[in-house]
Structure 1
Amino acid sequence: MIKVDNLSYSFPQKDLYNKISFTLEDGQHCAFIGSSGSGKSTLVDIIMDPERYLFDGILKIDPNCRIGYVSQFPQLDKTKETTVFEYIGEEFIKLQNEIASICAEMETSSDIDALLERYQQALDVFDAIGGNDFESNIDKKLYLANLTQQKNLMVTALSGGEFKLIQVVKEMLKSPDLIIMDEPDVFLDFENLNALKNLINSHKGTLLVITHNRYLLNHCFNKIIHLENMELQEFDGRYIDYNFSLLQSKIETQEQAIADAEEIMRNEFLIKKLRLIATNNAEAARGKTLKARVKVQERLEARRIKAPFVDIKQPEIRFVADHEIEETTALKVTDYSFAFDDILLENVNFEIKSTDKVALIGSNGTGKTTLLREIFKNIHPSIEVNKDVDMAYLSQIQGEILNESHTILEEFYDAGFKAYQEIRSYISNYGFGEEIINQKIGSLSGGEKNLLQLAKVSASKANMLLLDEPTSHLDTYSQIALEKAIKNYNGAVLMISHDFYFIVNCMDFVLIIEDKTIREMSMRKFRKMIYAKHFDKDYLEIEQKKKSVETQIELALKDSNFELAKVLSAKLEELIKLL
């Protein structure tokens, strides 16, 4: 269906791809992964509209291939009053009306031949997209998405997560040959994430999905395309198996790299010795021996392992409070209520201590973001923030915190940095090279913008962090770095998240929104609720064990303990078999 061969492409600021190649065949469900800013969305844009881009290499797409697309940032026309059913079935209803209109014209027109031709064309298009069964197909997809109850609601009444699912359903029902989705999982709650998994797995056609969501990656795909450091590799099989093969490569590569380094050092020592001898002895044979040894060294240097998928950049995220406060109440909420058309939250009460790390969870559209904003503004009479608390806020709407017309440099001058070198050094920890320091923030990927937000939050040195979906758009390596940063942070955290792994790995307890109020829940009860309502208990517990073993392997590699890494790798393989 799609064949990419030796494709290269550059922005003015940086090279994106260096002779990348892959194929996408009928029926494959392909996950497209890679670090934030590696060019995944740009490659999708090239596939969607190759005429807009000047690239080197070959891109072949079946000329009959119809492509559907689900955007990373779906926009809803709020002026257009339409029900969920009408929105999903828009193309079918339009064709139905056109066919009915042609039939009505036939009753009075003398030019029957032209009308018959139009009628047949409309009928062919209607049949090609499964028009005869479109109403029952909509019902089936809405059932899979757990949105049957919303069928006759106005689209404007949906939450952001529900609207994302509706977009997926709409594209699937058009029966294109290929559907491309750019991070369809962003901001989905636990229930909607499961619904997306069901929709993906039920789809018979070809899918290319950009995602960093570990749950979807483990459950939905039979092919992986990984873009990293301008290079690309493809893997036919599950993400779990691909990840394991990467770890195996890392063990082998690091072991080989150390052996290479030792050999290069030994050879360097011999070269120095031979140079010394050649300096004091003009015999031709001595010179030849030295030249031969230098050639060996050149070959050894050229042979050094180059592995773009093993040496993956991970940002260095660190949160440090400028001044810690003793164990005390950092935030107290008393009888808080909020209404938007309907009452969302009523008589809410909770408090957070100065070192608590707390996840705020609840279904899409229950008022979590509104509450977090109100806490940050700190002007509501029901919200009391300790006078010694300095808050920093990360928004899921990135333009709230970042000025997208600024360059990265301008943004950090505004944040209080004094010198170019200081900014360059600081943002390099977050994976931003000097070549893009003058790039407009609006041109960055979603993941890069979130990393910039995290960099600003860190620079504030606040002792309380308010984080709204901090893992959204972040690649898996950045998510792991963020987990580590929050674990090591010495202040309070209130975080909205739908990432089960992230919550379990970082948080002390959960505040859950149910029935328009908030109650505190221990991590043990949270796990039990998730197992009962959303995800398989065995899968999640094995996944946690797997993550623990992977961490132990990373530590063993850090110490160059390859024997231990191999023993742990065998243990990891057994866990993967259980998954």
Structure 2
Amino acid sequence: MLKVDQLSYSFPQKDLYDKISFTLEDDQHCAFIGTSGSGKSTLIDIIRDPEEYMYDGKLELLPNCRIGYVSQFSQLDRTKDTTVFEYIAEVFIALQDKIATLCTEMETATELETLLEEYQHALDAFDAIDGHDFESNIHKKLNLANLMKHKDLKVSELSGGEFKLIQVIKEMLNSPNLMIMDEPDVFLDFENLNALKELINAHKGILLVITHNRYLLNHCFNKIIHLENKELQEFDGRYIDYNFSLLQKKIELQELAIADNEEIERNEILIEKLRKIATYDSEAARGKSLKARIKIQERLEARRIKEPFVAIKQPSIRLKADHEVMDTFALKVCDYKVSFEDVLLENVNFEIGSTDKVALIGANGTGKTTLMRDIHKNNQESISTAEGVQTAYLSQLQEEILDESNTILQEFFDAGFNTYGEVRAHIRGYGFEEEVMDQKISSLSGGEKNILQLAKVAAQGANFLLLDEPTSHLDTYAQLALEKALINYKGAILMISHDYYTIANCMDYVLIIENKTIRKMSMRKFRKMVYERHFDKDYLEIEQKKKAVETQIALALEATDFELAKGLSEELEALIKLL
């Protein structure tokens, strides 16, 4: 269906791919992974419209291949007056109307040849997307996604997460030969994430999905393509097995690297001795020995070059509060209410301590972001912060915090940095090297923009962080770096998130929106609720144990205790079999 062969492509600022190759065939559900900014979305754009790009190599698609596409940045049109059913059925209804119109025209036309040809084209297009059963197929998909109750709602009344699922359903029902989705999971609540999992697993056909979501990666795919450091590799199998094979390779390579380093040091001593001898003894054999040793050294140095898929640089995210809050609380909310056309939230009362780490959760569209924005503005009587509280805000709408017309350098000058050196020193740890400092923010990937937001938040030294979906668009390495930074942070945090792992690993308790108000929930009860309503308890608990063992392996590798790392990898393999 799709074959990419020896493809290379560059931006003016950087090379993206160096002779990458892969194939996608019938019924493969492929996860497309890689660090933020590695070029995943660009490669999808090239596949969708190859004529627009100047690349080297070959890209082959079957003739007349229909491509379905769901963008990571799709926005809900609040003015749209169609119902959910009409929106999904748009193509079917248009073809149905065209066929009916042509039939009517043929009843009175004297020249039928052109009309018959148009009629046959429309009929073929209708058959190709299983048009005769479209109503039944729409109902099946809506039931699968638990959205049948929204069938007659206006599209404008949907939450962002619900609309994303409706887009997925619409594209799938148009029967594409190749279905491409770019981070379809971003901002989905637990229920909608499960619905997306069901839709992906029920889809008959080829899927290519960019995602960093650990739950989807572990449950939905039978092929992995991994783009990293301009190179790409394929893996036929589950993500969890691919990840394990990378970890085993990392243990092996690091053990080899230690041995190589020792050999390089010994060889360097020999080379120095031979050089000294060669200065006073010009015998040919001495010179040959020196040249031979230098070649051995070059081979050892070349072998020491790190593998592009296991030596992935994790950003260094550091969140620090410049001063502590003297009061025991950071925030008090008393009798808060917000409404638009209808009441969204009312009778909201809660308090957050000066070092509390709190997750704000609730279904899509229940008012989480509205509340967080109001807390950040702090201009309502129902919201008060303690003396000395300084907030820093990360928005799920990145353009709220980042001026996309700015370069990276100008953005940090605007944020209060004084010199080029200060900016360079601060953002380098976040993965932004010197050569991209003059790059426009608009050209960055979604993940890079979120990391840039985190760099701005960190620079403020605030003692109360307001984080709206901070893990969105982040690759798994950046997610783990963020979790570490959240755990080590000494101030207060209020975080909106639908990422179970980040909540479970980093937060003290949960504030949950239900029935238009908010109640406090312990982490124990939160886990129990998630197990009962959304995810399998055994899976999540094994996944947590798996992460703990992976952390132990990382520590063993840091201590160069390879025997321990190998023993732990066997323990990890046993856990993976349970998953």
**C-alpha distance in 1 between matches for 2:572 and 2:187:** 31
- Corresponding residue for residue 571 of structure 2: 571
> Equivalent pairs: percent with the same residue?
75
Question: Structure 1 residue 288: deviation in Å?
Answer: 2.1
Higher deviation after alignment, 273-282 or 85-94: 273-282
Secondary structure in 2 aligned to 1:384? strand
- Corresponding residue for residue 136 of structure 1: 136
Question: Structure 1 residue 37: deviation in Å?
Answer: 0.4
Question: Structure 1 residue 121: deviation in Å?
Answer: 1.6
**C-alpha distance in 2 between matches for 1:134 and 1:473:** 33
**C-alpha distance in 2 between matches for 1:513 and 1:321:** 28
Secondary structure in 1 aligned to 2:273? helix
**C-alpha distance in 1 between matches for 2:271 and 2:328:** 65
- Corresponding residue for residue 315 of structure 2: 315
Return the letter of the residue paired with 2:278. Answer: A
- Corresponding residue for residue 368 of structure 2: 368
- Corresponding residue for residue 15 of structure 2: 15
- How do 1:41-190 and structure 2 match up within 5 A? 41-190=41-190
**C-alpha distance in 1 between matches for 2:327 and 2:483:** 23
Q: Is the counterpart of residue 221 in structure 1 residue 227 in structure 2?
A: no
String of CA shifts for 1:33-68, please: whole Å, max 9, x gaps: 000000000000010111111111111111231111
Q: Is the counterpart of residue 480 in structure 1 residue 485 in structure 2?
A: no
- How do 1:363-512 and structure 2 match up within 5 A? 363-512=363-512
Return the letter of the residue paired with 1:176. Answer: P
- Corresponding residue for residue 548 of structure 2: 548
Q: Is the counterpart of residue 300 in structure 1 residue 303 in structure 2?
A: no
CA contact (8 A) 2:396 2:469 kept: yes
CA contact (8 A) 1:31 1:208 kept: yes
- How do 1:212-291 and structure 2 match up within 5 A? 212-291=212-291
CA contact (8 A) 1:257 1:305 kept: no
Return the letter of the residue paired with 1:418. Answer: N
Return the letter of the residue paired with 1:557. Answer: L
Question: Structure 1 residue 113: deviation in Å?
Answer: 3.2
Return the letter of the residue paired with 1:555. Answer: L
- Corresponding residue for residue 206 of structure 1: 206
**C-alpha distance in 1 between matches for 2:206 and 2:63:** 16
CA contact (8 A) 2:16 2:38 kept: yes
Question: Structure 1 residue 116: deviation in Å?
Answer: 2.4
Question: Structure 1 residue 282: deviation in Å?
Answer: 2.9
Secondary structure in 1 aligned to 2:409? helix
Higher deviation after alignment, 47-56 or 359-368: 47-56
Return the letter of the residue paired with 1:346. Answer: E
CA contact (8 A) 1:331 1:386 kept: yes
**C-alpha distance in 1 between matches for 2:185 and 2:420:** 37
Return the letter of the residue paired with 1:193. Answer: L
Change (3 A) 1:327 1:239: farther
**C-alpha distance in 2 between matches for 1:98 and 1:236:** 43
Secondary structure in 2 aligned to 1:330? strand
Question: Structure 1 residue 4: deviation in Å?
Answer: 1.0
- Corresponding residue for residue 196 of structure 2: 196
**C-alpha distance in 2 between matches for 1:422 and 1:229:** 27
**C-alpha distance in 2 between matches for 1:32 and 1:138:** 27
Cα-Cα RMSD = 1.0
**C-alpha distance in 2 between matches for 1:528 and 1:5:** 48
**C-alpha distance in 2 between matches for 1:193 and 1:533:** 12
**C-alpha distance in 2 between matches for 1:533 and 1:416:** 46
Secondary structure in 2 aligned to 1:308? coil
Question: Structure 1 residue 305: deviation in Å?
Answer: 4.0
Secondary structure in 2 aligned to 1:81? coil
**C-alpha distance in 1 between matches for 2:23 and 2:388:** 57
**C-alpha distance in 1 between matches for 2:120 and 2:53:** 37
String of CA shifts for 1:104-147, please: whole Å, max 9, x gaps: 22232222333222222211110110000000000000001110
CA contact (8 A) 1:447 1:473 kept: yes
Question: Structure 1 residue 186: deviation in Å?
Answer: 0.1
Q: How many residues align?
A: 579
CA contact (8 A) 1:38 1:228 kept: yes
CA contact (8 A) 1:5 1:19 kept: yes
- Corresponding residue for residue 557 of structure 2: 557
Question: Structure 1 residue 422: deviation in Å?
Answer: 1.4
Q: Is there any run of 5+ residues in structure 2 with no aligned partner, and where?
A: none
CA contact (8 A) 1:7 1:55 kept: yes
CA contact (8 A) 1:70 1:181 kept: yes
CA contact (8 A) 1:253 1:305 kept: no
Return the letter of the residue paired with 2:109. Answer: S
Return the letter of the residue paired with 1:487. Answer: I
Return the letter of the residue paired with 1:573. Answer: E
Question: Structure 1 residue 398: deviation in Å?
Answer: 0.2
CA contact (8 A) 2:36 2:474 kept: yes
Change (3 A) 1:291 1:166: same
CA contact (8 A) 1:327 1:355 kept: no
Q: Is the counterpart of residue 332 in structure 1 residue 329 in structure 2?
A: no
String of CA shifts for 1:372-426, please: whole Å, max 9, x gaps: 0000000011001112100000000000000000000000001111111111121
CA contact (8 A) 2:69 2:179 kept: yes
Secondary structure in 2 aligned to 1:187? coil
String of CA shifts for 1:261-284, please: whole Å, max 9, x gaps: 111111000001111122232333
CA contact (8 A) 2:325 2:387 kept: no
String of CA shifts for 1:261-313, please: whole Å, max 9, x gaps: 11111100000111112223233322222222112212222222430011101
String of CA shifts for 1:548-568, please: whole Å, max 9, x gaps: 000000010011110000000
TM-score by structure 2 length? 0.99
Question: Structure 1 residue 74: deviation in Å?
Answer: 1.1
Question: Structure 1 residue 327: deviation in Å?
Answer: 5.7
CA contact (8 A) 1:10 1:16 kept: yes
**C-alpha distance in 1 between matches for 2:36 and 2:284:** 56
Secondary structure in 1 aligned to 2:102? helix
CA contact (8 A) 2:326 2:388 kept: no
Change (3 A) 1:77 1:335: closer
CA contact (8 A) 2:80 2:154 kept: no
Q: Is there any run of 5+ residues in structure 1 with no aligned partner, and where?
A: none
**C-alpha distance in 1 between matches for 2:432 and 2:72:** 22
**C-alpha distance in 2 between matches for 1:31 and 1:130:** 27
String of CA shifts for 1:64-93, please: whole Å, max 9, x gaps: 311110011113444331000000000000
**C-alpha distance in 2 between matches for 1:79 and 1:338:** 22
Return the letter of the residue paired with 2:487. Answer: K
Question: Structure 1 residue 234: deviation in Å?
Answer: 0.8
Higher deviation after alignment, 117-126 or 184-193: 117-126
String of CA shifts for 1:176-208, please: whole Å, max 9, x gaps: 100000000000000000000000000011000
- Corresponding residue for residue 29 of structure 1: 29
**C-alpha distance in 2 between matches for 1:495 and 1:8:** 40
**C-alpha distance in 1 between matches for 2:300 and 2:59:** 36
